[in-house]
Structure 1
Amino acid sequence: MTGSTAKIQYISLWDRFKKERDLAAREQLILKYAPLVKYVAGRLAISLPPNVQQDDLISYGIFGLIDAIEKFEPERNIKFETYAISRIKGAIWDGLRSMDWIPYSIRQKAKELEETYARLENELGRPATDEEMCETLGITKQQFYSLLQETSCTSLLSLEDLFVFDRDGTNGVKMIDTIADSRVPDPVAAVMFEEQKKILGEAINKLPEREKMVIALYYYEGLTLKEIGKVLGVTESRISQLHTKAILRLRGRLSRVKKKIL
């Protein structure tokens, strides 16, 4: 099959589904892009505890793929793979949250770290050092690093989950879900999306350089923590530590911003 023939068939599948609601075409699209789900699930599984099964991630991811196919608009000239990967990741994280696989005690420890970062950095007007965190918490450096390792599982999330606009703490709106549908323009959603991007971007820019780089490589370039370690010439556990600190700082800063907005 030539490249031009494959492209024609690809366009035909989307036309049949979007214009005629042809379910057979929808099924073919799901089969065509199913490897994306396995790819995303495999990449995420590397950073998750062994008790989380990759088959479960794939099951959650399929829902994200179907959602992406339903909502994708070929005429907007956005590459489907890029759009779908965000939806697939989001569906997997939603599934993991529904499993509630992180113990309450670990969540509480992470919350304490998050609040300490937020309070201390607000007072200092800059990123807090490890030494300053230890002094504030009244613990040694070794205890601090052990605490980061213990709570690292709480930092494995979709970047969009860091900042949601909600008024009751339960029904947040992710950035990806605020993208306006061109068929039904929603100026409020569009403004909200741009505001979230701006605030999140500003918060990331205030991170220490090393942590900022980890966030960029993990969330925007799609590298695993192990791969980032090779790029930066440090161990995977060190990258995990930097990633956890970055997420805790971001959560702390964004929680303060949300309180001001809401």
Structure 2
Amino acid sequence: MNSDRLADYGPDAGDPCAVVTAPEAEQRWIVNYLPLVKRIVNQLSLQTSQVLDREDMEQIGLMGLLEGLRRYGVPDEHFARFAALRIRGAILDELRRLDWRPRQVRQQAHKTRDILRNLTRQLGRQPRDEEALQATGLSPSQFQAYLQAEAGEALESLDALLLDTSRDFHNGDASVEAIVGNQRMLIQALDELNERERLVLTLYYLHELNLKEIGLVLDISDARVCQLSKQAIDKARTFLTKSN
């Protein structure tokens, strides 16, 4: 995932041959990549703050970063992309372990999803907010919470897929090939989307904005950015799954 933001995180002016497993070297690299951890926590915090606070998420993200350092070796220009997946994956693994959506909430989400899917089929298009509210019986705030949870769950699934396709990054002989291949697949997946959907994923993955920030950039409601992100992620995940 090539990115102007990710390019900001990189090796410092120290000895490039430093042994990363040495405690002092690990500490230096962790400090150097701490802004990356904070950016990813900022991305994920809106949809997960009810379960983990930012401090806990940062601690988990740092553990993911440390694991990434030990698996990858001395960071190079490709490490930030690998580290971003490891950090995000560590946080999402913890959320799944905590089962952050209670059973009753998940059941309601499944029911709402089925209603909206049937409504979309009947209308031949995505329902407007007022149509969705009438069909589901949800209040505006409940509908917003549903959309945010759905978008968060979709982001988790795409992040997990990207992480799975990147597990060989730490193997020295295959790292460049794996990274380039993963970048190519993501670019191809973006090409499958319409302009708005592509922009949402570009802002999320390449510019590291969270859903609230994306809504502000595009001047659309939180509900609409959640819908767009869910649509975009479903299409991208389908493409990546077929590609693998």
TM-score with structure 2 setting the length: 0.66
1:136-155 aligned at under 5 Å gives the runs: 139=135, 143=138, 148-151=143-146, 152-155=148-151
Query: How far apart in 1 are the matches of 2:191 and 2:114?
Result: 19
Equivalent residues of 2:190, 2:198 under 8 A apart: no
Report how far residue 116 of structure 1 moved. 6.0
Q: Tell me which residue corresponds to 1:85.
A: 84
Equivalent residues of 1:215, 1:246 under 8 A apart: no
Query: How far apart in 2 are the matches of 1:163 and 1:86?
Result: 7
Q: Which runs of 5+ in 1 are unaligned?
A: 1-5, 165-173
Q: Tell me which residue corresponds to 2:190.
A: 201
Report how far residue 17 of structure 1 moved. 1.7
Report how far residue 90 of structure 1 moved. 2.0
Report how far residue 191 of structure 1 moved. 11
* Match 1:175 to one of 159, 162, 182: 162
Report how far residue 251 of structure 1 moved. 6.5
* Match 2:205 to one of 195, 219, 244: 219
Equivalent residues of 2:186, 2:240 under 8 A apart: no
Mean Cα deviation higher: 216-225 or 241-250: 241-250
Q: Tell me which residue corresponds to 2:3.
A: none
Q: Which structure has the higher relative contact order (CA within 8 Å, separation 6+)?
A: 2
The answer to whether structure 1 residue 161 and structure 2 residue 157 are counterparts is yes
Q: Tell me which residue corresponds to 1:106.
A: 105
SS of the residue corresponding to residue 17 of structure 2 reads helix
Q: Tell me which residue corresponds to 2:5.
A: none
2:190 counterpart letter in structure 1: G
Q: Tell me which residue corresponds to 2:8.
A: none
2:127 counterpart letter in structure 1: D
Report how far residue 91 of structure 1 moved. 1.5
1:1-20 aligned at under 5 Å gives the runs: 7-9=12-14, 12=15, 14-18=16-20
Equivalent residues of 1:65, 1:84 under 8 A apart: yes
1:103 counterpart letter in structure 2: P
Cα RMSD between the aligned structures? 4.5
Report how far residue 202 of structure 1 moved. 5.6
Deviations 1:14-69 (A, max 9, x none): 52325xx4343223322443343234324432454445311210121111111221
Equivalent residues of 2:68, 2:86 under 8 A apart: yes
TM-score with structure 1 setting the length: 0.63
- CA distance 1:214–1:134, change in 2 (3 Å): same
- Provide the aligned length of Structure 1 versus Structure 2: 231
Query: How far apart in 1 are the matches of 2:155 and 2:141?
Result: 24
Equivalent residues of 2:30, 2:66 under 8 A apart: yes
2:92 counterpart letter in structure 1: W
Report how far residue 245 of structure 1 moved. 2.0
- CA distance 1:194–1:108, change in 2 (3 Å): farther
* Match 2:126 to one of 124, 129, 132: 129
Report percent identity of matched pairs: 25
